[in-house]
Structure 1
């Protein structure tokens, strides 16, 4: 058993590093590849449990968009412990239109000041939303 554990920990560590690398190296997460075409303030809300790699990826993308790329994007991120997440997930499923069938971490939606304008889904959906509203700089 200790031998198995000694093999499992490095594997989990390498997998986490790979996910972090992929989240920061994707075209949608780098400012040199994307020129966002949004005209007014947009609020991106991300909630999930902290040990979830998809939550960490969505958090990194949303925070990068709000701090480095576009001042008209505001990111609100709420991180939960995994043992709290099931209860919070149920509350989000009930209060966010379109989220009733979403079962995973994170929940990502658009809306400012507590208002929900549009439920996007998870981290992949956030990435798709950003790519759909972006143009490569060469096309501008």
Structure 2
């Protein structure tokens, strides 16, 4: 169905192929290997092939759809900025250890485990115990505490 029988569309042009019982398939010509035309979907996606005689020029509505699919869209919710935002600088040092509530055995126990995790440079586990102390008192602990105290120094 190419405009000229036996002609191959130019590289970079958009073509359409009619599919029985479905919407036409649209694609940009990327290569021709002598028998098949290789096409890429508008806006990216899986490549596909067709014989040149099965291709036709897109209609006006199909060309409009191709323009929509290939036009870049600015990020939603962001205003255009003349200058980029400054980078976020995170502190190199971790947060200081949490202070347990005086007289609360659960908080003191979590504080001991937090100190143990910090000595082992396990800052993720230390943060878990810090969150547990911050959320105390509560009916059910968010983090099940180990049964025994950490080895080494006692609180």
TM-score normalised per structure 1: 0.23
Greater relative CO, 1 or 2 (CA 8 Å, sep 6+) = 1
TM-score normalised per structure 2: 0.21
Larger radius of gyration: 2
Of Structure 1 and Structure 2, the greater strand share is in 1
